[in-house]
Amino acid sequence: MPQIDIEVNGKRAVHTVPASRTLVQLLREDLGLSGTHVGCDTAQCGACTVLVDGRAVKSCNVLVAQLAGRRVQTIEAVAREGVLHPMQQAFSEHHGLQCGFCTPGMVMRGIAMDSEGVPADEEQVRRGLCGNLCRCTGYEGIVKAVVAGLQRMRPPCEGGSAHAGL
């Protein structure tokens, strides 16, 4: 069986897994990280979204064997020392969840949108969430939460416009 060296939530380890082992199986079944959910197992719902080297990926659709040397982050590592991540805080304040099943994937997708430079406006955020489904259909709150989360993750620059001298 292949031996794959992966960092998960800051801990690097070598995993000996069958070639067919998916990332979500490694996370949930081998590492006990059950915050990453499985809604479809066919790359449609986004409930299994995690970050790989900062990019959002659907972990049901990625093989562990593809991840040698990569850095994986799951919902369990988003809050720091008991303090919610700004995106999690925004979900809490803007009622971005109902049953909560889709929420870990939504939060991870929202965090990835920051590094992708997705503008913090409703239309762009809706487009960015097109691969994440909510069976409770709570999209209004989810979109508002991601917009607010992106705004919090991007503090206003000091000193006014970067183009002030042009």
Q: Is 47 in the site for ligand FES (CB under 6 A)?
A: yes
Q: Is 62 in the site for ligand FES (CB under 6 A)?
A: no
Please tell me what DSSP assigns to residue 74.
Answer: -
CB 58 within 8 A of CB 112: no
Binding mask 15-44 for ligand FES (x = CB under 6 A): -----------------------xxxx-xx
Could you say which of 46, 86, 104, 149 contacts ligand FES (CB under 6 A)?
A: 46
Could you say which of 26, 102, 147, 150 contacts ligand FES (CB under 6 A)?
A: 102
Quick check: helix, strand or coil at residue 16? strand
Could you say which of 12, 100, 115, 123 contacts ligand FES (CB under 6 A)?
A: 100
Q: Is 50 in the site for ligand FES (CB under 6 A)?
A: no
Distance between CA atoms of residues 106 and 131, nearest Å: 10
Phi, psi (rounded to 5 degrees) for 66: -85, -5
Q: Which is nearer to ligand FES, 3 or 92 (CB)?
A: 92
Distance between CA atoms of residues 146 and 130, nearest Å: 13
Distance between CA atoms of residues 128 and 122, nearest Å: 10
Q: Which residues bind ligand FES (CB under 6 A)?
A: 38-41, 43-48, 58, 60, 97-102, 134-136, 138
